[in-house]
Amino acid sequence: MCPRSCTSLAKGFSSDKNNNRNNHNSRGDNSNTSSMSSRSVNGDKGGLSLDGAEIVKCMGSMNEAQSLVNNLSAYMKHFGGKAETLLQYLASDGESGIDSESANERRKIMGCNSLPSKAPASFWQLFVDSFDDETVQILMVAAVVSLAVGMYDDPATGYIEGVAILTAVLVVALVTAVNDYEKERQFRVLSAANDEVDILIYRDGQAGLMSIDDLVVGDIIVVEAGDRIPCDGILIQCDGLEIDESALTGEPDDVAKNMTEDPFVLSGCTATAGTGRLVAMAVGANSQWGLIKAHLEKEQDQTPLQEKLDKMAALIGYVGMAAAAATFVAMMVIKLYVKPDYLQDVTAFSHALDAFIIGVTIVVVAVPEGLPLAVTISLAYSTKKMLKDNNLIRHLTACETMGNATNICSDKTGTLTENRMTVVKGVFADTSHTDIQDTPSSINPTAKERLLQCISTCSTARLLPDQEGDGRATIIGNKTEAALLVWAKSQFQDDYETRRSKAKFGTKSKLFPFSSHRKRMSVVVSDNEKQNDTDFEYHLYHKGAAETVLKDCSHYLTHDGTILELNDAKRAEYETLIDNYAKDALRCVALAHKQIDAEQNISTITDIQSLEQQLCLDAIVGIMDPLRPDVVEAVKTCQKAGIFVRMVTGDNLHTAKAIAKQAGILTPDGLSMEGEEFRNLTPSQLDEALPRLQVLARSSPEDKHILVQRLNGGLMPKTKEEWLEIHPGSNYEKEKDLLLPGYYQEWAAARQNGVGEVVGVTGDGTNDGPALKAADVGLSMGISGTDVAKKASDIIIMDDNFSSIVRAVLWGRSVFDNIRKFLQFQLTVNVVALTITFLSAVAGYKPPLNAVMMLWVNLIMDTMGALALGTEPPTLELLNRRPYRRDASLINLPMWRNIMVQAVYQLGLLIFLLKEGPEIFKCESGSTHHFTIIFNAFVFCQIFNEFNAREIGDKFQPFHKLSTSPMFIVIIFITILSQWFIVVYGGDFTQTHPLTVSEWKVTTGLGALSIPIGFLMRQIPIDEDPKSFAGLDNGSVDKTKKTNGLTNLLVVLLPVIIGGAYQLYHS
């Protein structure tokens, strides 16, 4: 089954490049190459046939889910538990990786790393699903009954009404299916973008970034804390690597990995600590995550706005059903008791059927299925556009929630600053260098060796060749560490890769990775290369926040390589230096070292902090990270929009304050504090500080998590058990009001209506995960963010730029406002359509809008209205108001004013045309001609009111920036064209009558009066309730400014002038 000789597979993958790799000489005769498909490959025992399936089977024997014992047994059986033997079998190399020329063949015979996904629903399936609605089904049954009765009563034309209703239902279903299909396609595009991840691998002896989809079996992959495991693999090197396997096993505890007892890593899991290098043994569908995903298909969850609209839609639907029942009863009463002339020739059964169809149609029209559709369309449109603005939406809820964010807790590095770290000054071996371009020539070789060894080995960052064409190396990993590597390379032409290779991490040396909690990292390195391990000389190299490292130093290194005691005066000198660097907005990093007992077994070291004492200070470095040029304006925009911007950083307080002042975050009356002070506050003290707290420095991930909890109430402990889980060993009764984050009951009591802030939090590190989860919107960094942070976030900021967060707020507000615009438009149509149908039935008139007409109106206001108003682009004016409270109503007072005024006008117009229309237009009352005039006027009222609906406040700009809303223009054009076609060519099918040019002009003009009515209604002094707003009250949300009075007057008088000119012309 598995290799009896490890030479055979190597032969299959050998290439000319192997001649340049000395460590491959033992893998067989390179001239004897062969394909690894189903052809035989002879090993040293001859006759062994290896093909892709057999390789996958061999690797699969070590890759059973939840079966560590069996996997280890197979690893020992086939490869002796040795990574070297496995690498030979896979024709790979732990340092150089595979030959890139073999990648395509490996992909062909052993699979690619793209995961399987369920095929999308076909258009036909979506079309069929669109009929899965009870009211539509009832209407279709009624239409069939109408068709049968009609054909029985009048075989020549009796079929028309039934067929017309069925056709209208078919058109609605078709449009719904098209929308659903497009929505599904857009979501899949966004999901694909979300899954795009680059990983660090070795091929052809070179490190480089590669898409996760391009991995093949045998690739050498480097993972660090925060990285997602891209495939199943076996470790060939690791230092303190811990893996979160909960995604596969459900176990919450991280699993420590090592080379002997548990070298297996599984795709879909995440590295939470340490570093490692692994060889890919199963990719794509053959990996554990691939096997699981084949049985999964995630459904899109509803957003809070969609849920809120569903409840409103249900309520409106109940009103519609009540109106439908009332209309049915009224029509039957008219038939049975009033007995008007127009019903003399109609049987009771036929009339009951007509009444039933009208009633069901009212329900179809009343149920605003367009509300959830509008949210879907608006979200799909916005998420696609937001991707162009460097915002990748992972969860749709974030798009709408971000629009009403009241607080943004932002990182400093990479978000407010450029994350282009550069060493600008420093003290190296007690020698000050303010001009960093000058090589510190006074430092002797011994001191220089300590500095360079610390910079190179006490780091996980890597420098790759320039990939962006800006002349700068491409940085993989921590930017601060990379800045030191760049400095060492430019000043001393030092090769960090060679130093790391000689250190032999995982065997002779051990890395203790950077911890954001400790603000430091260490590495124990063997500096000699003797054969006997006991003769090795070990040094601990240490790097971290300058003031923290300085506290643990007892000596310092001088320029001539000697080590002197760090007395109080010298310590004070360094402390002053650190403060001065910080006040210049420089990040201060200290380098230190310490010789370790040669007999120390480094593999047994677990408590590194016990060794990080009595250190020798080697250097204090000032690293500049300039503020992004657009940050100041972006912060100002957020504050103007009512959003409180806070900086939460691990940097020194002086550095943080300096950057915060430059960015405009820290104001003269603002408060700044360090994490140590912050975490000692009581909940009530923190509540007092929150309105002024603008900078939190030297903060831990837990500090950020507590800050978010206290702001929004998310994940606050609600029971005694939950509180004790956070504070084990504490006294709940005595300390519940003293320890952060507090508890939910006291938190809610301290806030108006128990409603918290809407908080957006940025994060890039693994330990930022809890804060990102607790936030209403977690914003991870696409460039510097770890996979853990991205997985915990709702939005990925692709360019790590704070101004992109502002654009996320803008798009979020646009979604919210677009839904309100559509709601305002649809409710107006609902009120008018239901009322006119009911009133006409009660008054003894035949309903002026038949089933087909009402279905057409339903199409206008639902699908087409959602497309027109749901895709309106945002305007910067949206950032001139404060965010809405969580519990703010979807329909505000100005919206109710607009709905009722337009509804009153339209109802008055339709009633007038119902009574006086025959006299004015010289047509028979109740005739098809008469009802077509009413129908046309009603539709054009909706068309022109759609322009009114583009604004929901007091501003009157119905035609403002139409050129930026191409979808709106297209929908209006299609609606007018379709209306003309229905009226002119509908005939008996739609029960319409062709109108004269004069009638077209008059009915269109009557509909156009909705525009001046829209101006007049906005003069009614109704303002939005100030209590519906949240966030900073900085005067940005005063009454909406009204537009120029002359412009408004011209818009109002224009229809009057045109009408007067038309009458004069005819006179």
Catalytic residues: 411
CB 385: neighbour CB atoms within 10 A?
A: 16
Residue 687 burial by Cβ neighbours in a 10 Å radius (0-12, 13-18, 19+): middle
Q: Which helix (H) or strand (E) holds 277?
A: strand 270-282
Strands (E), 483-519: 510-515
The type of residue at 543 is K
Distance CA 757, CA 401 (A): 11
Question: Do the Cβ atoms of 551 and 592 come closer than 8 Å?
Answer: no
Q: What is the CA radius of gyration of the chain?
A: 36
Residue 835: name the closest of 319, 284, 142 by CA.
319
Bridge partners of 615? 553
CB 664: neighbour CB atoms within 10 A?
A: 16
Distance CA 637, CA 297 (A): 40
Residue 521: name the closest of 551, 548, 544 by CA.
544
The type of residue at 797 is I
Distance CA 398, CA 405 (A): 10
Q: What does the block give as tokens for 285?
A: 């569908």
Distance CA 926, CA 932 (A): 10
Q: Which helix (H) or strand (E) holds 554?
A: strand 553-557
Please enumerate in sequence order all residues whose Cβ is within 8 A of that of 623, keeping only pairs 6 or more positions apart, or say none: 421, 422, 423, 424, 480, 483, 586, 587, 588, 589
Question: Do β-strands 220-224 and 538-545 pair in parallel, antiparallel, or remain unpaired?
Answer: unpaired
Distance CA 790, CA 782 (A): 8
Tell me whether the omega of the peptide bond preceding residue 741 falls within 30 degrees of 0, making it cis. Answer: yes
CB 334: neighbour CB atoms within 10 A?
A: 21
Strands (E), 668-744: 671-674, 693-697
Residue 267: name the closest of 251, 247, 252, 296 by CA.
247
Q: Which helix (H) or strand (E) holds 586?
A: strand 586-596
Q: How far apart are the first and last CA of the chain?
A: 101
- Tell me the backbone φ, ψ of residue 475, rounded to 5 degrees: -100, 130
Question: Do the Cβ atoms of 146 and 353 come closer than 8 Å?
Answer: yes
Question: Do the Cβ atoms of 986 and 922 come closer than 8 Å?
Answer: no
Distance CA 40, CA 373 (A): 59
Question: Do the Cβ atoms of 197 and 230 come closer than 8 Å?
Answer: yes
CA dihedral 109, 115, 118, 120 (to 10 degrees): -100
Bridge partners of 564? 556
Question: Do the Cβ atoms of 863 and 176 come closer than 8 Å?
Answer: yes
The type of residue at 452 is L
Q: How far is CA 803 from CA 199, 632, 1053, in A?
A: 27, 9, 43
Distance CA 58, CA 70 (A): 13
Q: What does the block give as tokens for 486?
A: 């760049």
Distance CA 173, CA 178 (A): 9
Bridge partners of 391? 797
Question: Do the Cβ atoms of 187 and 380 come closer than 8 Å?
Answer: yes
